[in-house]
Amino acid sequence: MGLSYEESKKLVVKGLILLGIITLVEVAIALLGNGHIIEGMIWPKWVMYPLMIGFSLYKAYFIVYEFMHMKYEVKGLAMSVILPTLLLVWAIIAFFHEGNSYKERRELILEKNRKEIGYVAPPEILTKEIQMI
């Protein structure tokens, strides 16, 4: 243990307050940004999403480094756990790109149907998605 008993007790209180406040802030962003608190005020997704993701990553960092004591472990142990998870960065990029491509192809087919055989899909399907980042 790197910290004295008193210090680590303080850290626990700090962690509780920190994680609690960050969670409340995240929920507040979700509710404010979607217009639940102030009627008609809607934040753009490119403001909301990075904020929420950033706060969540900080929470993850705090849990791993303080609560799980990664900060006080040997560097080699920490790296052998953290470096492999970086593979996920590419997984996220690749699979999200692929998913988006599905949607574009589906829209392409609907568009071709409309032009070639006059089939018109219901408006719900043709409407461009605006929810994603």
Residues 72-131 that bind another protein (CB under 8 A): 72-77, 80-81, 84-85, 88, 91-92, 95-96, 98-103, 105-107, 109-110, 113, 117, 119-131
- Is 69 within 8 Å of 12 (Cβ atoms)? no
- Is 55 within 8 Å of 25 (Cβ atoms)? yes
- Is 65 within 8 Å of 11 (Cβ atoms)? no
Two tokens, residue 57? 């990553």
Two tokens, residue 101? 């491509």
Q: How far is the CB of 13 from another protein (least distance, A)?
A: 8
Identity of the residue numbered 81? V
Q: How far is the CB of 32 from another protein (least distance, A)?
A: 11
* CB closer to another protein, 38 vs 85: 85
Whole-angstrom distance between the N-terminal and C-terminal Cα of the chain? Answer: 43
Site for another protein in 13-52 (CB under 8 A): 15-16, 19-20, 23-24, 26-27, 29-31, 34-36, 42, 49, 52
Q: How far is the CB of 38 from another protein (least distance, A)?
A: 14
Instruction: Give me the residue label for tokens 């006059």.
Output: 118
Q: How far is the CB of 52 from another protein (least distance, A)?
A: 5
